[in-house]
Amino acid sequence: MDFYKIPVDNWTCANIVEHYKSELPKTTRKILFDHIKKDLQRVALASSGFDVTRREKAQEILDSWMDWTATIKLKGKTLRHLLNRSQQKVEVLEAKQQELATENASKQMDVIQKKFVNYNIANLRKLCSEDQGDDNEVVRPSSKRKMTSSSSSTSLFNDQGGSESGSSFNMNEKNTSRNQDASLREESGVFDDKEDGERMQDSETSLAYTELENSADWISDGDKDVYEPCLPKEGHTEMTQRDEIDNDLGGRNWKKWASLLQEASKKFSSHKHCLENYSIIRCGAGIIPSDWMEKKMYQSLQAGLLKVDRTQFVDFKPYMSSILGEKSLKNMQQAICSRAPPIDEPRGSKHYVINRVFTQFAQEVFMPDNRDSDIKLSEICYNHLALWPCMYTAISGLTSNLGNLKFLPGERYLEAIDEIRKFRHQEESHMKVDGIVCTEFANIELLSMEVTGHHGLHDKSRAGWDHVKGSCALLAMLSRIAYIFPQGSIELFQEVRVAFVHAHEKALHLWLFNMPSPGIFLLQRISKAIVPSKFDESWRLCELINFLWTLRIEVLNTSKILEKLKTSHMEKALEIELGESRPQYLYDLLRPVTSPSESRITTPTLDKKTEYAKVGEYVLPGSSPIREED
């Protein structure tokens, strides 16, 4: 009991466990925690020997016992899981070696692979479902938990608040050697007792295995066969001509789409972050239809979508060709300077945009001797040298009756997430994005941005995570507009398109998001551009400039629609004050068709530490290069 006379700041779970393990070296975990709990109860109830601060601290730990012990308990489970996975991987590697020497090795590979798959999926889920033990009553996470469990859904539209958004990302190295296995055994020895090894069904089993399923380690090279059906399909999207569309049963038959979405959320959803669970139809140029979609309906929908004008800079062809035709970087820089626009050139004009993009890449991105650019070094270099200057250029000079539009770069909290949670009386949570475009009036966010690592980074799991983050951000941004103008015109609100720019690998993707029918959302990719990193690729700047101009036009169009929506809201609010009946609020239309009618609308919470897995590459859309005919 003398241990509890140390400063209360040192009463961490790790310190207390370490102390008790030194006092009781051969004690099982369950007995160890029983000793700790009983001693804390004695301290909390002591009438003498301990001051008020220590008694209150002991009671505080007891009141949040599950939260307090979760991290330590989870560590043992995580390490044990990694150990078992490493052993499985070693078996796979050994079998691969044998396959080179014997004809029967392929059969052995099949057996081991099936064993590996069954271990990862069936056995773990069975353990979770059969979870039992002395501490079952503390498996359910409290409302203050910051770690998402399987019972705490982060679905958009259920009755649970979810967990706070994580602020860090950690992709652990894959371990395959036997030396690493041994080190894992040693480290996991904190709780490596016989009782744990046999049962693994005690108080934190459900929480621990949910954490493992949602950790970055869950997705590895050995898991590709398990998720092969979920991988995106590359190919060309076939487009249907407008005269081939049945106007009654075509792509805009929202009742049929609602039925398909409801069925997809039950049968085709491989994880809770699949977009069909949010009633989102993903479509657009070069996007392959999801498995749950009917091909003809998707083609009809595609035929009626917004198309991008790719001829907006035809008048500047001689100017651009003369610069891009230079044979060296130095000559290109000189040509840009000699053909610069006049000083009084309006910000945001086509000449201004072309010159700014050319100048930025010629001076900051392209390297002499055609070496690799610094944008390949890190995400921050990519942002500072290429992406953020381009975004500034695209938004420069834009204004509306809602005030000037501005681009704000950097890791920023999305205001829409915070405010929508307050409107819906949910626990506070934050989501950081890599840049936003907003209005001066009410700071309405019209565009969010996610950058998945440095230029050229091939990490589909991380890119998939950012794609989900972007989708959740779009839902929150559209919802906030509905809350700001609740009495606005439904027809105008259906025309509001918020935007998402996603940079991953070497490309930029521009997505538009709107609600064409109550409870159904469209996520449409309208533009894609490769970001050049070498002087030899400078011809791709034309594609990038078209992308930025398209982004500029779409943001401006959305701001104009918001002006009209604001006017309709004010007019209707005045009519209500004069005695007219109150219409349906815009935010009441946001309930997705896949959501049970009795549940309340909630805002998604994405915990980067625990929700990263099973999102990964499996949520990325099937995609092909955007072609003219798309």
Which backbone phi and psi does 276 adopt, to 5 degrees? Answer: -65, -25
Query: How confident is the model at residue 7, as a pLDDT?
Result: 84
Q: How many other CB atoms are found less than 10 A from the CB of residue 259?
A: 12
If we measure between CA atoms, which residue out of 244, 484, 8 comes closest to residue 16?
8
- The predicted-structure confidence for 223-277, as pLDDT tens digits, reads as follows 333 223 332 343 555 444 434 444 444 578 999 999 999 999 888 777 777 888 8
Q: Comparing C-alpha atoms, which of 406, 413, 468 is closest to residue 613?
A: 468
Per-residue exposure over 534-555, b if at least 16 CB sit within 10 Å of its own CB, e if not: bbebbebbbbbbbbbbbbbebb
Give the span between the Cα atoms of 119 and 114, in whole angstroms.
Answer: 8
- Per the DSSP assignment, residues forming a β-bridge with 450 are 502
d(CA 358, CA 334): 11
pLDDT by residue (tens digit) across 344-377? 999 999 999 999 999 999 999 999 988 889 999 9
582, with CB counted inside 10 A (0-12, 13-18, 19+), is: exposed
Phi, psi (degrees; rounded to nearest 5) at 524: -115, 125
State which H helix or E strand residue 449 sits in: strand 445-452
* Cα diameter, the chain: 90
Q: Please, are residues 153 and 142 in contact by the beta-carbon 8 Å criterion?
A: no
pLDDT at 176: 41
Measure the CA–CA gap between 419 and 425, rounded to whole angstroms: 10
User: Measured between alpha carbons, how far is 256 from 142 in angstroms, rounded to an integer?
Assistant: 40
Q: In what order do the strands lie in the sheet with 445-452?
A: 280-284, 520-530, 507-517, 498-504, 445-452, 432-439, 403-413, 399-400
Strand runs labelled E in 240-338: 280-284
Residue 469 tokens read as: 């983050």
Q: Would you call 530 helix, strand, or coil by DSSP?
A: strand
Q: Would you tell me the crossing angle of helices 29-45 and 65-99 to the nearest 10 degrees?
A: 160
Q: Where are the domains of the chain?
A: 2-63, 65-226, 376-531+540-619
Query: Hey, how many other C-beta atoms are within 10 angstroms of the C-beta on 129?
Result: 9
Burial class (CB within 10 angstroms; exposed 0-12, middle 13-18, buried 19+) of 428? exposed
- pLDDT < 50 regions, the chain: 117, 119, 121, 123-124, 126-234, 238-249, 609-610, 612-617, 623-630
- Angle (CA) 255-258-264 rounded to 5° is 145
Query: pLDDT value at position 43?
Result: 84
Q: In whole angstroms, what separates CA 543 from the centre of its chain?
A: 26
Q: How high is the pLDDT of residue 441?
A: 94
Asked if 554 and 222 touch (Cβ cutoff 8 Å), the reply is no
* Contact (CB, 8 A) for 495 and 567: no
Torsion sign over Cα 174, 179, 184, 187: negative
What's the pLDDT score for residue 421? 80
Q: What pLDDT is recorded for position 53?
A: 83
pLDDT confidence of residue 211: 36
- What number of residues does the chain have? 630
| pLDDT recorded at residue 270 | 72
Closest Cα to residue 203, out of 65, 56, 397? 65
What's the confidence (pLDDT) of residue 71? 64
* Nearest alpha-carbon partner for 560 in 488, 476, 499, 495: 495
Write the secondary structure of 320-373 as one string of H (helix), E (strand) and C (coil).
HHHHHCCCCHHHHHHHHHHCCCCCCCCCCCHHHHHHHHHHHHHHHHCCHHHCCC
Quote the pLDDT of residue 306.
79
pLDDT of residue 610: 45
Q: What is the DSSP string of 75-89?
A: HHHHHHHHHHHHHHH
Taking the C-alpha atoms of residue 258 and residue 261, their distance in angstroms, rounded to an integer, is: 5
